[in-house]
């Protein structure tokens, strides 16, 4: 992720942080221009859609430039810093180029033009950060958000967008022509959007790097086509087309990025791809609460309620494995998963995250309690790694902590089901033929109707409710 920018300096770019992440936001710079850095010294703290990460620089030397202010979102592959290898602190600001997609804090002049430097391939330090090595990696195409430069033809139109040629800065990207071969598209959402509107992607000029077609390119083309169609119809009818209404100017716009953006994307994908259904039932949790009290009175580590609910979930999934699965739409197959990696919804200052307890089916209540506590603390501190936020097979959502009784959860794509647990409160309940005040909880199960029918989902939820009402039922599976 670095290359020689001149005879003595190396440019270190934002590395691939793994798990499909394509951008990160600069939270805090850990070095200043002119600082001397050692190999593998962290130089910047970034926030991805999944976690906070300190990014180490694999080269030692003097920092000559930083790219991007705190709060700036950079795509993978964008320059982070340049380092003068073997230089001194006095060399720093004078060497800073201050060029690139980000804003450099260096103020030095750019070196004089000359023949291009031969790219060096120095040995990396061998340190690895969440799926990248410090040696040079092969180039990848990734979705990025650069300053938009659109292709323009003789009429000044690109992808249906018209720009004033006098105001266009920099060279224009050549207009796209229909060609054979692979289309430069990464996102399946872009492909689906084009397919739904019968739009030929080969006719578009992508505004991304290397002509990559972004979702914005498709949306612009669709709006332009709609506007052109409207004008044609108006002309045929002999009427003037009305201008579209201006967007409201009042209010505050909040960018959908970071954790909020990742949540929005994932929930939207779940709603659009998964035909979900929800069933729910009230259960008398009095005996479960008594069992927990007895466990904690016996000494040893305290057992949490969510750990007992997790243990009930894993037992239920063993009986109804259809719900511990995922759907492969391309192969038209249901993939039933062997182990249970249990996700649980956790609300933090940074937003909603879903840490994953690995191999939950092999853990007892004490182990589950300890792992829930560790992951919750890491989530609140922003220290969860991408690996601790991915790979779940089933999710437990204890929204009762917010003081609500019920909900219809959205499935955590690509999983097949989610169990929701409301608050446990005293309510009138018929117990052993008499009206009594009992501790009652509402349980809800949202499931992917492709993996099973209502009978399976109902059987799962009924088994969970039976275990809540009579914890001794679990003894059959211990």
Pairing of β 434-448 and β 417-421? antiparallel
DSSP conformation class of 128: B
Is residue 453 annotated as part of the catalytic site, yes or no?
yes
Among 390, 395, 355, residue whose Cα is nearest residue 375 = 355
H/E/C letters for each residue in 13-48? ECCCCCCCCCEEEEEEECCCCCCEECCCEEEEEEEC
For 432, phi and psi rounded to 5 degrees?
A: 55, 45
**C-alpha–C-alpha distance, residues 248 and 227, integer Å:** 20
Contact 267, 408 (CB under 8 A): no
H-type alpha helices, 161-213: 188-196
Q: Which two tokens stand for residue 443?
A: 């349980």
The single residue listed with the structure tokens 């964008």 is: 78
**Which residues lie closer than 8 Å to 394 by C-beta, 6 or more apart?**
313, 317, 323, 324, 340, 341, 342, 343, 415, 416, 417, 418, 419
The DSSP annotation for 232-260 comes to HHHHHHT-PPPPPPPPP--S------HHH
Is residue 8 annotated as part of the catalytic site, yes or no?
no
The one catalytic residue among 200, 328, 364, 453: 453
The one catalytic residue among 200, 328, 359, 449: 449
The single residue listed with the structure tokens 């016996």 is: 298
**C-alpha–C-alpha distance, residues 24 and 257, integer Å:** 9
**C-alpha–C-alpha distance, residues 169 and 339, integer Å:** 55
* Residues with catalytic function: 449, 453
């Amino acid at each position: 992720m670095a290359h020689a920018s001149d005879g003595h300096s190396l440019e270190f770019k934002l590395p691939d942080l793994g798990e499909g992440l394509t951008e990160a936001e600069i939270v805090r710079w850990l070095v200043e221009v002119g600082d001397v850095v050692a190999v593998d010294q962290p130089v910047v703290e970034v926030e991805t859609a999944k976690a906070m990460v300190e990014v180490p620089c694999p080269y030692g030397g003097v920092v000559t430039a930083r790219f991007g202010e705190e709060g700036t979102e950079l795509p993978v592959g964008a320059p982070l810093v340049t380092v003068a290898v073997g230089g001194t602190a006095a060399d720093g600001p004078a060497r800073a180029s201050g060029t690139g997609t980000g804003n450099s804090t260096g103020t030095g002049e750019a070196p004089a033009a000359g023949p291009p430097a031969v790219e060096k391939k120095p040995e990396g330090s061998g340190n690895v950060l969440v799926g990248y090595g410090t040696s040079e990696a092969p180039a990848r195409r990734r979705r990025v958000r650069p300053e938009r430069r659109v292709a323009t033809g003789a009429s000044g139109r690109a992808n249906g967008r018209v720009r004033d040629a006098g105001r266009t800065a920099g060279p224009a990207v050549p207009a796209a022509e229909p060609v054979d071969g692979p289309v430069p598209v990464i996102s399946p959402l872009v492909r689906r959007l084009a397919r739904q509107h019968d739009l030929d992607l080969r006719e578009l000029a992508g505004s991304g790097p290397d002509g990559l077609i972004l979702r914005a390119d498709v949306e612009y083309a669709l709006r332009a086509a709609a506007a052109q169609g409207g004008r044609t119809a108006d002309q045929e009818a002999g009427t003037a087309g009305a201008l579209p209404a201006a967007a409201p100017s009042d209010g505050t716009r909040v960018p959908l990025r970071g954790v909020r953006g990742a949540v929005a994307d994932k929930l939207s994908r779940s709603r659009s791809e998964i035909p979900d259904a929800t069933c729910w039932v009230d259960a008398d949790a009095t005996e479960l609460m008594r069992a927990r009290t007895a466990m904690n009175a016996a000494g040893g580590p305290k057992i949490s309620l969510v750990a007992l609910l997790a243990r009930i979930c894993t037992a239920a999934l063993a009986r109804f494995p259809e719900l511990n699965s995922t759907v492969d739409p391309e192969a038209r197959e249901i993939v039933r998963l062997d182990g249970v990696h249990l996700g649980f919804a956790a609300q933090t200052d940074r937003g909603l995250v879903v840490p994953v307890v690995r191999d939950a089916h092999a853990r007892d209540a004490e182990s589950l309690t300890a792992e829930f506590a560790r992951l919750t603390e890491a989530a609140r501190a922003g220290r969860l790694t991408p690996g601790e936020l991915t790979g779940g097979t089933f999710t437990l959502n204890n929204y009762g902590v917010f003081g609500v009784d019920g909900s219809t959860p959205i499935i955590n794509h690509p999983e097949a089901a989610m169990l929701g647990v409301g608050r446990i409160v005293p309510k009138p309940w018929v117990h052993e033929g008499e009206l009594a005040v009992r501790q009652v909880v509402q349980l809800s199960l949202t499931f992917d109707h492709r993996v099973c029918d209502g009978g399976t989902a109902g059987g799962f939820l009924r088994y969970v409710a039976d275990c809540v009402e009579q914890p001794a039922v679990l003894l059959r599976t211990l």
